Structure 1
Amino acid sequence: MNADDEQLLRGRVYGHDHDEPHSGPLPHRTYAALVGGPLDGLLLDITGRRPEEVDGGVALPTELGRWPGGRSLYDPRPGEPRPSGGSGVVCSLHYSGDMP
């Protein structure tokens, strides 16, 4: 990934193409910021997810990880704020590796 690719990812919601009209966050949705790894800078829409679903971490399909077509793993860090509802960015998930 080069600097141009990284710029396209910043502030974009995971799962949306950079050229979609609404690829950025929406005011009425809840997001987790993805930190590190191939999806660094993206936001994950967690609207409607229970806190315990986010606490377990997520495995996100991506072509940008170690195994194209595999998943990148993102987990919360102990002691960091957890989602409690509301809108905007309410927590962070940190890269912990890739899996095929």
Structure 2
Amino acid sequence: MELVGGPLDGQLLGITAYAPEERADGALLMSNHGVYGPGGRSDYEPRPGDPDRWNWAGDTP
């Protein structure tokens, strides 16, 4: 699926190994380009009505 917005905008994430319950929650992904730099994480959540895209919800240390 495609990541939309934030530091990972436009990148693709393979989610075939995720269970449906895990997909519903989104993911905190390691990102060197987020607000917190190397070691920080970017929060992406499923876009309502579009399962092929996840929206950026912010960064966390």
Q: TM-score, normalised by structure 1?
A: 0.56
For structure 1, which runs of at least 5 residues remain unmatched after alignment?
1-31, 82-90
> How much does 1:79 deviate?
2.7
Counterpart in the other structure of 1:80: 50
Give the total of aligned pairs: 60
> How much does 1:52 deviate?
1.5
Counterpart in the other structure of 1:33: 2
Counterpart in the other structure of 2:56: 95
Larger Rg: 1
Matched residue of 1:52: which SS? helix
Matched residue of 1:44: which SS? coil
> How much does 1:78 deviate?
2.5
> How much does 1:34 deviate?
0.3
Counterpart in the other structure of 1:65: 34
Would you tell me which structure has more strand in proportion to its own residues?
2
Cα separation, 1, equivalents of 2:55 and 2:2: 8
RMSD between superposed Cα atoms in Å: 1.1
Instruction: Give 1:46's match in structure 2, choosing from 8, 12, 15.
Output: 15
AA matched with 2:7: P
Question: Would you identify which runs of 4 or more consecutive aligned residues in structure 1 move more than 4 Å?
Answer: none
